[in-house]
Amino acid sequence: MSASRAGAGPRAWQRMLSGRKLDLLDPSPLDIEIEDIAHGLARVARWNGQTRGAHPFSVAQHSLVVLDILRVIAPRLPPNAQLAALLHDAPEYVIGDMISPFKNALGLDYRAFENRLAAAIHLRFGLPAEPAATLKAQIKRADLMSAYLEARQLAGFSDDECRRFFKVPPMEAMFDLTPLATADAQSQFVATFQTLFAEA
């Protein structure tokens, strides 16, 4: 019997490989596992897959780069703040990586949906539902710097476009963004998470 004939609404949960069922409209921290997040993010391509290299540049690898940049621009951040940076795009393990112009076109309903999921993820791992404004700004700055490197090294943007749309990171030459294989991006994300979570 279909959901509509049974009187129920459309299915609003997703089954994860861990066996969890995550309600997308009302996500519970109890249904969130780091292995599911890492698995999903390692398989979501940045820039809609329009990058150079033998592998897509994944959101998992992007998250690691953002953390590396943050450690350069804010070297004294405690482990829990670094953990928030690692998880800054974690909702994309469920909803994918929509490019910013499309997010802006969708408007506030999408942002509210994304924010609810982010809050549940943060609570699951002992973080405040929303990072403090100062930390949020630092993560956003590192995120834009990573986008600059990705645009320049992988996505075919001109130098002028990179400077116009993104922030130039310090010590640009120290960041090599060769895309990792899926399994490597996933394992590095999990290992980094485990270290920070143990220290937080």
Q: Where are the domains of the chain?
A: 31-199
pTM of the model: 0.90
What confidence tens digit (pLDDT) does each residue in 101-114 have? 676 676 657 778 88
Whether 198 and 126 have beta carbons less than 8 Å apart is answered as no
148-158 average pLDDT score? 96
- pLDDT above 50 for 8: yes
| Close Cβ partners of 95 (under 8 Å, ≥ 6 residues apart) | 24, 113, 114, 117
Give the range among 26-35, 57-66, 165-174 with minimum mean pLDDT: 165-174
The pLDDT of residue 107 is: 62
Work out the pLDDT band at 2, boundaries 50, 70, 90. very low
The confidence score (pLDDT) of residue 3 equals: 43
Average pLDDT over residues 163-180: 88
Report whether 43 contacts 37 (CB < 8 A).
Answer: no
Q: Which CATH class is domain 31-199?
A: mainly alpha
SS3 content of the chain, % helix, strand, coil (to 5): 60, 5, 35
* Dist CA 135 CA 122 (whole Å): 14
Q: Over the stretch 37-55, which tens digit does the pLDDT of each residue have?
A: 999 999 999 999 999 999 9
pLDDT at 184 exceeding the cut of 90: yes
Please report the beta strands in 20-125, taking only residues with DSSP state E, as ranges in sequence order.
21-23
